[in-house]
């Protein structure tokens, strides 16, 4: 941790109690702990936090693994470290009672206990010790020494980090609390600590203020609804927000656009894993909606958009390497009330759907998408006027031929590095309304424009939620979708009137 002049504010992503197990030769005995999801939950939390705020530091409050003494646990710690290094942010780590030897945790993460500085804020980190029955103790001499070091920079707010809660007291036969909590609270107040953060107590505790010190306990990331904290420090003032990765199941959200292992762009997903994760994340229904063109064509031909320049290519490819029967045979039996299926279809260069007539029956949804247009695959400089004309023409081709949802509207224009003309909003909304189709709200490699979706609401065009998941960490992640809807005035009680398929059985 390095020092810097105070900038006035600091944003912290706070994670606690992952209890991760992958390589460790150990089985978690607590069913509600999703120890298998630790790496994915970290990825989800980082993505979610960075959509909300400019995160300055990631804080880990212990119990990173479920059994730090088990063979292979060090590899699990290293996996977590590698995942947390990807955002390129400082990471502060406090060992927990499940993490094994504290010195090993510090070695894996290159972390130190004591006092460090980030952007004009001081972090006092404590690696407490555990006696019989998991009783947590902190030698007062260590506490005094650390706080004395911090007080040398009296103009910088102090943030104290530990695994076990300090305040408020928890009534339980299990010793959640730090044994010396009374002395700790006294010294925190005298030393000018602004914020004290802890983990360990899985339900978490909201912030409370005692003698100028804000105390908060971060909930366990490993237990549904998979919560974490965002903290914004402005001097000594701490704004603490607790967020859930899972959606509220009472909302009944539906994903109409989720890929499977049949997609060439799939990462770590399978149909079965997607179904399970959608349930974990509180969705009411998920549509396994695969690229029809990828079920016919070779990957290279699809990614080049060769079916635009050679419109019959997909027809010839279907005759040679058709994977549609295999997709139907494998995914069809998975269909049930909470799992439906569909296809993501697009147009060839002649405006025909890349979907054979004999393959059109039986789907719950057809999602129309524009990934390639003649303007984007042809030679020569990009012509924005041609691109926008073709965008409207081929969008209508999709809707006229039965697409019920228009996927990621305008994304193809953004990816061509052409500004999206606002004047396109009204005619596209009118087109959707005339065909009774929905506009997809999709954040996958995309930044939807709230003004377009506000125009959809004014015209009565339904909005379809699409995760467009190609990786497990994307499944059921509708927080940005709901936030955009809230920003344009859609309250939760209005969702059934606004969202496509929300109230369908």
% residues pLDDT > 70 (the chain): 97
Determine the pLDDT at residue 154: 65
Residue 6 scores a pLDDT above 70: no
Residue 504 scores a pLDDT above 50: no
Specify the pairing of strand 129-130 against strand 136-137: antiparallel
Task: Please state the rounded mean pLDDT for residues 358-376.
Answer: 97
d(Cα 207, Cα 218) in Å, to the nearest integer? 10
Q: Taking all residues of the chain, what is their mean pLDDT, rounded to a whole number?
A: 95
Domains of the chain, start order: 10-244 (3.60.21.10), 254-498 (3.20.20.140)
In the structure, what pLDDT confidence band is assigned to residue 165 with cuts at 50, 70 and 90?
very high
d(Cα 115, Cα 223) in Å, to the nearest integer? 31
Which residue is it, tokens 């709901």? Answer: 482
Task: Please state the rounded mean pLDDT for residues 259-273.
Answer: 97
% residues pLDDT > 90 (the chain): 91
- 244 bridge partner residues: 227
In the structure, what pLDDT confidence band is assigned to residue 221 with cuts at 50, 70 and 90?
very high
pLDDT of 419-457, one tens digit each?
A: 999 999 999 999 999 999 999 999 999 999 999 999 999
Determine the pLDDT at residue 146: 87
Residue 505 scores a pLDDT above 50: no
Determine the pLDDT at residue 259: 98
d(Cα 331, Cα 260) in Å, to the nearest integer? 9
Task: Please state the rounded mean pLDDT for residues 170-182.
Answer: 94
Determine the pLDDT at residue 2: 45
Determine the pLDDT at residue 471: 97
Contact 270, 286 (CB under 8 A): no
In the structure, what pLDDT confidence band is assigned to residue 153 with cuts at 50, 70 and 90?
low
pLDDT of 239-253, one tens digit each?
A: 999 999 999 999 999
- 228 bridge partner residues: 243
pLDDT of 11-67, one tens digit each?
A: 999 999 999 999 999 999 999 999 999 999 999 999 999 999 999 999 999 999 999
- 178 bridge partner residues: 136
pLDDT of 275-305, one tens digit each?
A: 999 999 999 999 999 999 999 999 999 999 9
Residue 3 scores a pLDDT above 70: no
Determine the pLDDT at residue 141: 86
> What are the residues whose beta carbons fall under 8 Å from the beta carbon of 329, sequence distance 6 or more?
none
Which residue is it, tokens 């007539």? Answer: 357
Q: What is the pTM of this model?
A: 0.94
Determine the pLDDT at residue 4: 47
Task: Please state the rounded mean pLDDT for residues 188-196.
Answer: 95
> What are the residues whose beta carbons fall under 8 Å from the beta carbon of 1, sequence distance 6 or more?
90, 92, 112, 116, 117, 118, 123
Query: Count of alpha carbons within 13 Å of 78, Cβ hemisphere only?
Result: 6
pLDDT of 368-424, one tens digit each?
A: 999 999 999 977 788 999 999 999 999 999 999 999 999 999 999 999 999 999 999
Task: Please state the rounded mean pLDDT for residues 198-214.
Answer: 98
Q: What are phi and psi of 256, to 5 degrees?
A: -95, 5
């Amino acid at each position: 941790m390095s020092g810097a002049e105070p900038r006035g504010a600091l944003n912290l992503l706070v994670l606690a109690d992952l209890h991760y197990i992958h390589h460790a030769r150990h089985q978690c005995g607590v069913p509600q702990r999703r120890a298998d999801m630790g790496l994915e939950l970290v990825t989800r939390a980082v993505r979610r936090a960075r959509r909300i705020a400019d995160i300055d530091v990631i804080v880990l409050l212990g119990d990173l693994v479920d059994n730090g003494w088990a063979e292979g646990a060090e590899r699990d710690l290293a996996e977590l470290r590698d995942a947390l290094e990807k955002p390129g942010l400082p990471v502060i780590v406090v060992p927990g009672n499940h993490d094994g030897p504290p010195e090993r945790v510090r070695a894996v993460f290159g972390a130190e206990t004591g006092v460090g500085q980030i952007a004009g804020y001081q972090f006092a980190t404590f690696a407490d010790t555990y006696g019989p029955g998991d009783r947590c103790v902190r030698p007062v001499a260590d506490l005094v020494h650390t706080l004395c070091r911090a007080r040398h920079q009296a103009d910088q707010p102090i943030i104290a980090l530990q695994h076990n809660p300090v305040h408020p007291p928890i009534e339980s036969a299990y010793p959640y609390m730090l044994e010396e909590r009374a002395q700790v609270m006294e010294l925190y107040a005298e030393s000018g600590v602004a914020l004290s953060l802890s983990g360990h107590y899985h339900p978490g505790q909201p912030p409370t203020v005692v003698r100028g010190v804000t105390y908060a306990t971060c909930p366990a990331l490993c237990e549904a609804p998979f919560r974490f904290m965002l903290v914004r420090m402005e001097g000594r003032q701490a704004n603490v927000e607790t967020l859930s990765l899972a959606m509220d199941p009472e909302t009944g959200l539906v994903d109409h656009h989720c890929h499977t292992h049949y997609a060439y762009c799939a990462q770590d997903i399978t149909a079965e894993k997607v179904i399970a994760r959608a349930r974990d994340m509180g969705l009411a229904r998920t549509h396994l909606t695969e690229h029809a063109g990828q079920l016919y064509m070779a990957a290279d031909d699809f990614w080049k958009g060769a079916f635009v320049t050679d419109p019959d290519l997909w027809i010839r490819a279907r005759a040679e390497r058709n994977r549609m029967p295999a997709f139907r045979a494998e995914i069809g039996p998975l269909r049930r009330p909470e799992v439906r299926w569909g296809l993501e279809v697009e147009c060839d260069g002649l405006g025909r759907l890349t979907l054979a007539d004999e393959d059109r029956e039986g789907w719950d949804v057809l999602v129309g998408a524009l990934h390639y247009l003649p303007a984007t695959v042809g030679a020569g400089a990009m012509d924005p006027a041609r691109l926008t004309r073709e965008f409207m023409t081929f969008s209508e081709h999709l809707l006229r031929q039965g697409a019920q949802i228009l996927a990621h509207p305008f994304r193809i224009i953004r990816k061509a590095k052409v500004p999206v003309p606002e004047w396109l909003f009204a005619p596209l909304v009118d087109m959707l309304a005339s065909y009774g189709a929905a506009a997809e709200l999709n954040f996958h490699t995309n930044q939807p424009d709230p003004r377009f979706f506000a125009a959809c609401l004014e015209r009565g065009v339904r909005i379809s939620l699409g995760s467009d998941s190609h990786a497990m960490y994307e499944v059921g992640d509708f927080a940005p979708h709901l936030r955009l809807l809230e920003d344009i005035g859609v309250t939760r009680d209005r969702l059934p009137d606004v969202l496509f398929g929300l109230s369908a059985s």
